[in-house]
Amino acid sequence: MPSRMSAAESRRERELVVAVQPTRLATQRAFELVYALHYRDVYRYLLGLTRSSADAEEIAAETFERALRAWNVMPEPPLPWLLLTARRIATDRWRRARRLARIALGLRGEASTGAGERQTEFWLWFDALAGVLTQRQREALLLRYQRDLTDADIGSIMGISESGVRSLVSRALDVLRSHPEMLA
């Protein structure tokens, strides 16, 4: 037979529920605000990394899912944390896909993506750059010029120092300057 709560216990339980509900509502509203402010930034960053809108959408969704789970420990401002998390998820997916391809098919190279965005003029140009820039150089340029992040933020996302970011960007720009046909 279930035990009955006393009136005092019942009142205390109702008070706890009432106290917790505004906190949940505030957290939900704060998360919705972060999502509204930064989803496009995360998506565009991922689109630059993956060159696939479907992959970018999936990884962005997973990024914000992780953000919600880690809400209490997310630093301010949240954008560098979101971009770092998105980068880690994308890297995990690439590694997993490469490992599975090697196991299943014995492939050694990377498979190309056939995203619709790839047919746009920008992506054709960006793909041409991919041949002359390393992945890290492309990523640093995307973060610097597309996302307009500081060297400190880029460094925390990429796991390098601020001077390392400046050096990486400088080398990437030198490579681009040595290929003026890419910039036309």
Note the pLDDT tens digit of each residue in 54-94: 889 999 999 999 998 888 888 788 998 999 999 999 888 87
Domain boundary among 90, 114, 138: 114
Full-model pTM: 0.53
User: Which candidate, 70, 73, 82, 74, places its Cα nearest to that of 36?
Assistant: 82
Contacts of 41 by beta carbon, 8 Å cutoff, 6+ apart: 79, 82, 83, 147
Quote the domain boundaries for residue 93.
Answer: 9-114
Based on the fold, state whether residues 52 and 21 are members of the same structural domain. Answer: yes
* 49 neighbors 142 (Cβ within 8 angstroms): yes
Based on the fold, state whether residues 135 and 46 are members of the same structural domain. Answer: no
With residue 94 as reference, give the H or E element that holds it. helix 78-105
* 79 neighbors 39 (Cβ within 8 angstroms): no
Based on the fold, state whether residues 65 and 140 are members of the same structural domain. Answer: no
Based on the fold, state whether residues 28 and 82 are members of the same structural domain. Answer: yes
Q: Is the pLDDT of residue 171 over 80?
A: yes
Q: CA-to-CA distance for 137 and 119, rounded, in angstroms?
A: 22
* 151 neighbors 166 (Cβ within 8 angstroms): yes
